[in-house]
Structure 1
Amino acid sequence: MSIARRLKTSHLRLILRVAETGKLQSAAEEIAISQPAASRMLSEIETLVGAPLFTRHAKGMATTAIGETVVRHARQILQSFDRLETDVQQVTDGRTGSVRIGTVTGPAVGMVVPVIRAVRELAPEVEFTVEVAPSAALLRGLDEGNFDFIIARPPPDDSGHHYRIHPARNEVVSMLVCRDHPLAGRKSLRLRDLADFEWVIQDRGTPIRAAVEAAFYANRVKRPTQVTNTSSLLVALALLQGSTAIAPQSYEVAELLAGSGLDVNVTRLDLVEDILVSPFFVIVQQDRQLSPVAEQVIQETFRRI
Structure 2
Amino acid sequence: MDFDAESTPTLALRNAPEPKVRMSLTPRLVNRLRLKHWSLLSALGEASTLNQAAALINVTQPSATKMLSDIESAFGGALFERHARGMRATPLGSEVVAYARQTQASLERFLEGIEIKRRGGHGHLVFGTIMGAAPDLVARAVADIKRERPRLNIRILGETSDQIGVLLERHDIELAVGRFSDPLQHNKFDFAPLSDEPLRAVVRHQHPLARRRSLDWPELVRWPWVLQTMSSPSRLLLEEEFTRAGVASPADVIECTSVFATLQLLQSSDAVAVLPESVVRDHVKARLLVALPLVVGQELKAFGLLTRRDEPLSEIAQAFITHLQHNARLQATPRAAKRSKAARPPGG
Instruction: Report the TM-score range of the alignment, normalised by the length of the smaller protein.
Output: 0.5 to 0.7
Matches within 5 A, 1:1-305: 96-154=122-180, 155-160=182-187, 162-259=188-285, 261=286, 265-305=288-328
Structure 1 residue runs of 5 or longer lacking an equivalent are 1-86
Q: CA deviation at 1:121?
A: 2.5
Distance of 2:247 and 2:284 partners within structure 1: 27
Question: If the length of structure 1 is used for normalisation, what is the TM-score?
Answer: 0.61
Identity of counterpart residues, as a percentage? 24
- Structure 2: give runs of 5+ residues left out of the alignment: 1-116, 329-348
Q: Note closer, same or farther for the CA distance 1:228–1:299 as it changes in structure 2 (3 Å cut).
A: same
- The letter for the 2-side match of 1:104 is I
Q: How many residues align?
A: 211
Give the conservation status (yes or no) of the 8 Å contact 2:190–2:307.
Answer: yes
Cα offsets for 1:101-150 (capped at 9, x unmatched):
11122112232111111222232222211112333332232233221211
CA distance in 2, matches of 1:287, 1:181: 50
Say which structure, 1 or 2, has more relative contact order (CA 8 Å, 6+ apart): 1
Report deviation, 1:284.
Answer: 1.2
> Contact 2:189 / 2:306 at 8 angstroms: preserved in 1?
yes
Q: Which secondary structure state, in structure 1, belongs to the residue aligned with residue 210 of structure 2? A: coil
CA distance in structure 2 between the aligned counterparts of 1:282 and 1:250, rounded to whole angstroms? 18
Q: Quick check: 2:131–2:259 contact (8 Å CA) kept in 1? A: no
**What are the superposed Cα offsets for residues 10-52 of structure 1, whole Å, 9 maximum, x if unpaired?**
xxxxxxxxxxxxxxxxxxxxxxxxxxxxxxxxxxxxxxxxxxx
Alpha-carbon contact 2:161-2:233 (below 8 Å) kept = no
For the residues of structure 1 that align with 2:225 and 2:242, how far apart are their CA atoms?
Answer: 13
Q: Give the Cα separation in 2 of the matches to 1:242 and 1:158.
A: 37
TM-score of the superposed pair, with normalisation by structure 2: 0.54
Kindly name which structure, 1 or 2, has the bigger radius of gyration based on alpha carbons: 1
**Partner amino acid, structure 1, of 2:314:** S
The Cα shift of 1:245 comes to 1.3
Root-mean-square deviation (Å):
2.7
Would the alpha carbon gap of residues 272 and 140 (structure 1) be closer, same or farther in structure 2, given more than 3 Å must change? closer
* Aligned counterparts of 1:254 and 1:297: Cα–Cα separation in 2: 25
Q: Distance in 2 between matches of 1:238 and 1:133?
A: 16
Displacement of 1:159 in angstroms is: 4.8
CA distance, structure 2, for counterparts of residue 150 and residue 242 of structure 1: 32
CA gap of 1:248–1:291, structure 2 versus 1, over 3 A, is same
- For 1:193 and 1:148, the matched residues in 2 are separated by 44
Contact 1:105 1:133 in 2 (8 A): yes
> Which amino acid in structure 2 is aligned with residue 177 of structure 1?
V
